[in-house]
Chains A and B, each alone.
Chain A
Amino acid sequence: MIAEVGAGALAVALALAVYGSAAAAVGGRTGRAALVESAQHAALGVFAIVTSCLLLLAWAFLSFDFSVRYVANNTNLGTPFYYRLTAVWGALEGSIVLWAWMLSLYTLIVVVRHRTSARDLYPWVLAVMLGVLAFFLLVMTVPAPVFQRLTPVPADGRGLNPLLEDSGMITHPVALYLGFTGFTVPFAFAIAALVTGRVGDAWITTTRRWTITAWYFLSLGLLIGGWWSYHVLGWGGYWAWDPVENAAFMPWLTGTAFLHSVMIQERRRMLRLWNLALVIMTFSLTLFGTFLTRSGVIASVHAFTQGSIGVFFLSFLGLVLVVALVLLAWRWEALGAQGELDSVVSRESAFLLNNVLLLAATFTVFFGTVFPLLSEAMRGVKVSVGAPFFNQVNVPLFLGLLFLMGIGPLIAWRRASLDNLKRNFLWPIAVGIAAAAVFRLVGVRSMIAVLSLTLTVFVASTITVDLVRATRARLRTGERLPGALGGLLLRHNRRYGGFAVHLGILVVAIGVTGSQAWSVQTETTLRRGESTALAGYRVRFDGLAASEESNHVKVTGTFTVANGHGAPAVLQPAKKFYPQEQSPIAYVDYRLGLREDVYLVLGDFARDGSQATIRLQVNRLVSWIWIGGIILTLGTLLALAPERQRAGAAVA
């Protein structure tokens, strides 16, 4: 039953979305409010239906309804309750349902928030949102139907991919998709601005919060993905320049560029065309990423022809780009530059350079990701470029971005005077040089590590200088310190939220630098009672034991880890044997620390438990990456807080 009801409901939702999109567009063109209103009702209807479908699917999972093919393929009677819920979006079809649901939720929020506030743009925004939603509903109906009946109904399902049995599976896809779908809103506003010819700054100011929110969720999704990779996949790293990761990283890069370039437009009326192009590019890259990861094209260009979902995504991407380009060409006249760059030494130019570097990084990642496809299509040889390529090209770009992170927020608009430069950068540069000397003295050998850490110190100093100066100014008016600092953060929450996000990125940068430069590992085979040593740690193998879990058998090794001081810790890495899998799945154990993580993977073992092969890693500063993520979250919340600025107050 569920399969038929679900499929039918989705077809209705598709019809509603198509109608709503058309009605909103015609309403926008003719100014007939009744049509726009009916489009609103359609949006509400789509949201209600997609929500019900998501709940229906969840219910099918919870009640083990194997008559639904998707349920039978992704769960079995042994799958625990919690993972039956996350299995809803554990595979392609379900992930599209989640995607569409979020998009319909965003559409509804747009209706509630902007119905009256952005009256001219609003009908077209609604038309674009519902149009994109219609596309995803079409995907759910034709190439990736989630509600499909399976006959005969099997007694048990195939089970969930064991790698997805992890708590990160509830947060990672949700955050990532909230980010991906979130960029649809600024994109819809950009298209609306182009259609109506109101290409001024209204669409930018209206979507500021949307952009920050989407960017934040995308960042969070990337970080949680890194955490999942680190503690589930067991290869000891958090980022591999894998196509799936790159697919999410590219829109993050262009989204970051957009976040910065809109500030120039708000302030200096420059870059109208550029900002429209950036948001169109970001949205297109979210589609391209989905195409890349879902069509099988990465494995080989030939795999692409097998599934039709790739064709759907590629066609839609083509449609989006063509429509956007036509609109841009149509409004070319109105998009001419208004402000001009006064001096190379100015905030505008720092932001511009930031954009150039971010786009260069985007291009690099894009090129490296599609390189195997290009070489296969053009020369017939499959050549790939791995992590060394991405690191080699991107590291200089990222170091440049770190440097600009120190310059951009403090340098003066228009033309920075020598006095302005001295006032803002004398101390940070001095501190940075001192830090570089210290890093060399304590024996940091890697040039990249020295540079990266020095830049981090430099940027942190610029933020400190700014904060200290502004707090002092408030103290002079007689305020006490906590009040002065609090008032400052709340009144200029956008500025200091941005600083806090920068601080979070710096902390992530420290983690990445440290883990790349100083992590060590060893692989060895131990007999029971034997020990091995690495970086001051002694690891003793105490034995192996097997246990039966609800849907797998777990072979757990027990190891005692001592480092000379403090009580020894017990680590229990394991291998999990799932009946539906041909091979075991590694289960990593670790002790996280601010300075370093001890990370232990159980490799091979003797069947009588007498010996085990392990990989022991001491990973430096990795925790800083996750801490950076928390700081970034707090900074985003501060930046999103309602502006407290009094009318007419001087802007710093």
Chain B
Amino acid sequence: MIAAALVYMIYAGVTQSAVYFVTPSELGSAPVAGKAYRLGGMVERGSLRWEPSTLSLTFALSDGKASVAVRHKGAPPDLFGEGRGAVVEGSWTPEGYFRATHIMAKHSEEYKAPHDTNQASIKELMRTLSGGSR
């Protein structure tokens, strides 16, 4: 009896909380509104808009073949940026965009050697912040 109950609970749990992994082209070809997806792709260059006052974050995720417009409410997480991989969880809306409830930026396990450009931008940050807050 307990085994049957467990099987039922697991079955119900899976059907209710299954999240499908899709690429932008898979989603683009057959989007189902309301279904939970996990969409993985690259944040397209030039597509990222972040409006701090309204917490509105919009960008396009692409897999090279298709691209999907994504909207999210909340600040961009660490590790998130244009030209980088990201996985978003959410659903497709009838209005024709993907509403993301979670953004999981991809953390690359490989550590890059310090970049000169990276260093320069950090130096610049030091300068603007010191000037700005004092």
Contacts and interface: CB of A to CB of B under 8 A. Distances in A.
A642 interface: no
A613 interface: yes
B33 interface: no
A382 B21 contact: yes
A383 B21 contact: yes
Interface string B67-78: 000000111101
A385 B126 CA distance: 43
Interface in B64-92: 73-76, 78-81, 84, 89
B111 A384 contact: no
Contact of A555 (B19, B53, B129): B129
Contact of A613 (B55, B125, B128, B133): B55
B52 A580 contact: no
Contact of A548 (B73, B79, B89, B126): B126
Nearest to B57: A604
B17 to A, nearest CB: 4
A396 B12 CA distance: 14
Given A389-B13, A607-B129, A363 B6 contact: yes
B50 interface: yes
Contact of A544 (B20, B84, B129): B129
Contact of A583 (B105, B119, B130): B105
B128 A360 contact: no
Contact of B111 (A158, A392, A608): A158
A498 interface: no
A383 B89 CA distance: 12
B126 A546 contact: yes
B75 A604 contact: yes
A523 B75 contact: yes
A386 B132 contact: no
B18 interface: yes
Given A523-B75, A548-B126, A606 B52 contact: yes
B111 A73 contact: yes
A43 to B, nearest CB: 35
B118 interface: yes
B17 A546 contact: no
B14 A385 contact: yes
A615 B105 CA distance: 18
A158 B20 CA distance: 36
B122 A386 contact: no
A360 B6 contact: yes
B30 interface: no
Nearest to A612: B52
Contacts of A384: 18-19, 21, 38
A583 B21 contact: no
Interface in B91-134: 105, 111-115, 118-119, 122, 125-126, 128-133
Nearest to A576: B78
Contacts of B16: 388-389, 392
A581 B129 CA distance: 20
Interface in B5-28: 6, 9-10, 12-14, 16-21
B55 A524 contact: yes
A613 B111 CA distance: 28
Contacts of A545: 129-130, 133
A480 to B, nearest CB: 48
Contacts of B80: 583
B125 A383 contact: no
A579 B9 CA distance: 48
B4 to A, nearest CB: 11
Contacts, number: 133
A148 interface: no
Nearest to B131: A608
B55 to A, nearest CB: 6
Tell me which of B55, B80, B105, B122 has the highest count of chain A C-beta atoms within 10 A of its own C-beta: B122
A384 to B, nearest CB: 5
A229 interface: no
B75 to A, nearest CB: 3
A167 to B, nearest CB: 21
Given A388-B16, A580-B112, A606-B52, A381 B21 contact: yes
B133 A544 contact: yes
Given A383-B19, A544-B129, A553 B122 contact: yes
A384 B131 CA distance: 48
Contacts of B119: 579
A582 B84 contact: yes
A604 B103 CA distance: 15
Nearest to A371: B14
Nearest to A601: B75
B51 to A, nearest CB: 9
Given A385-B13, A392-B17, A577 B129 contact: no
Contact of A393 (B10, B113, B125): B10
A579 B122 CA distance: 8
A519 interface: no
Given A384-B38, A604-B50, A610-B132, A586 B78 contact: yes
A615 B75 contact: yes
B100 to A, nearest CB: 14
Contact of A525 (B55, B89, B114): B55
A580 B76 contact: no
A609 interface: yes
Given A360-B6, A545-B133, A609-B129, A582 B112 contact: yes
Contacts of B113: 158, 580
A179 to B, nearest CB: 25
A221 to B, nearest CB: 22
A200 interface: no
Nearest to B126: A546
A462 interface: no
Contacts of B53: 525
Contacts of B6: 360, 363-364, 393
B19 A385 contact: yes
B13 A577 contact: no
Contacts of B78: 575, 583-586
B116 to A, nearest CB: 10
Nearest to B89: A386
Interface of B: 2, 6, 9-10, 12-14, 16-21, 38, 50, 52-53, 55, 73-76, 78-81, 84, 89, 105, 111-115, 118-119, 122, 125-126, 128-133
Given A364-B10, A383-B21, A545-B129, 12 more contacts: A161-B111, A385-B18, A386-B19, A393-B10, A393-B13, A544-B133, A553-B125, A555-B125, A582-B112, A583-B80, A604-B50, A604-B52
10 contacts: A158-B113, A381-B21, A389-B14, A393-B10, A525-B52, A544-B132, A579-B122, A607-B128, A613-B55, A615-B74
Interface of A: 73, 158-159, 161, 356, 360, 363-364, 367-368, 371-372, 381-386, 388-389, 392-393, 396, 523-525, 543-546, 548, 553, 555, 575, 577, 579-586, 603-604, 606-611, 613, 615
Which A-B residue pairs are the 5 nearest by beta carbons? A603-B75, A382-B21, A608-B132, A579-B114, A609-B132
